Copies of this chain bind each other. A is one copy, B any other.
Amino acid sequence: MRYTYRPSVLRDLSPRELRRLIRNNQWDKPTAGLAPGYAQANLVILPFEYAFDFLLFCQRNPKPCPLLEVLEPGDYHTHFLAPRSDIRTDIPKYVIYRKGTLEAMVNDITDLWQKDLVTFLIGCSFSFEEALIKASIPMRHIEEKKNVPMYVTNIECRPAGIFHGPMVVSMRPLPQDKIVDAIVITSRFRAVHGAPVHIGNPEAIGIHRINKPDFGDKVTIKKGEVPVFWACGVTPQAVVMKAKPHLCITHAPGHMFISDIRNEDLAR
């Protein structure tokens, strides 16, 4: 039997309770706003033959690819992020790519599991946004109920093996008098993209049309506000797609892994 939960009910559930609903296919929607205070993670699953290169890519590019946890080949249980979880079922929606082409979106990848698959869980900006909001720094895309605008830059990631490509950034417009606080606060959150990569001049990082984001939605930039750019977790996904591995499984955009780790515990 399939239940529909209203977000207001879901908001009171613990990460563990939410993962159980998701596992039982009772929630297959985006996870933004669920389990406030707890870190959510991006998912990339690759066959072992690509795992060293991808792990090295993340090591070389910690701002766009901050690793929260990497599982042993074949393992589908997280140990650090959530001791009682199954990565094959505990994400609301998965995307299956073969040779860089989207093949299917599914709610469960148990049937697809192979002994050689390596799971990478990557930090997400939800964690630092919570800290910014607590510090009275406004998040325009949340106010406007949109996805954060994202842009492909001219900043090349440091390549590793078969993986290479430009950094993708997210943008949040901030009033001048909030910029320093926003940098200081996010610099503490290295596990979730850390300090911004650029402030103020989109052209300087190859962004020519600030009102035409490559991913997500356009947001209002008010007079006197400055666009601030953070490295974005879409970077590793774009880089993996470009490398066309024979198999890659990711979370569907916005349908993240909900962990038992508090955001604040990532600020160390």
Contacts and interface: CB of A to CB of B under 8 A. Distances in A.
Interface string A49-78: 001100110011000000100101100000
Contact of A55 (B48, B52, B72, B80): B52
State the number of copies, please.
2
Interface string A183-194: 000000010000
Contacts of A72: 56, 160-161
Contacts of A190: 190
Interface string A138-165: 0000000000000000000010110000
A242 to B, nearest CB: 18
A194 B121 CA distance: 23
Contacts of A70: 56, 59-60
Contacts of A56: 55, 70, 72
Nearest to A48: B52
A51 B49 CA distance: 12
Contacts of A55: 52, 55-56, 59
A161 B80 CA distance: 16
Given A72-B160, A160-B72, A161-B72, A59 B67 contact: yes
18 contacts: A48-B52, A51-B52, A52-B52, A52-B55, A52-B73, A55-B55, A55-B56, A55-B59, A56-B70, A56-B72, A59-B59, A59-B67, A59-B70, A60-B70, A72-B160, A72-B161, A80-B158, A190-B190
Interface of A: 48, 51-52, 55-56, 59-60, 67, 70, 72-73, 80, 158, 160-161, 190
Given A48-B52, A190-B190, 9 more contacts: A52-B52, A52-B55, A52-B73, A55-B56, A55-B59, A56-B70, A59-B70, A72-B160, A80-B158
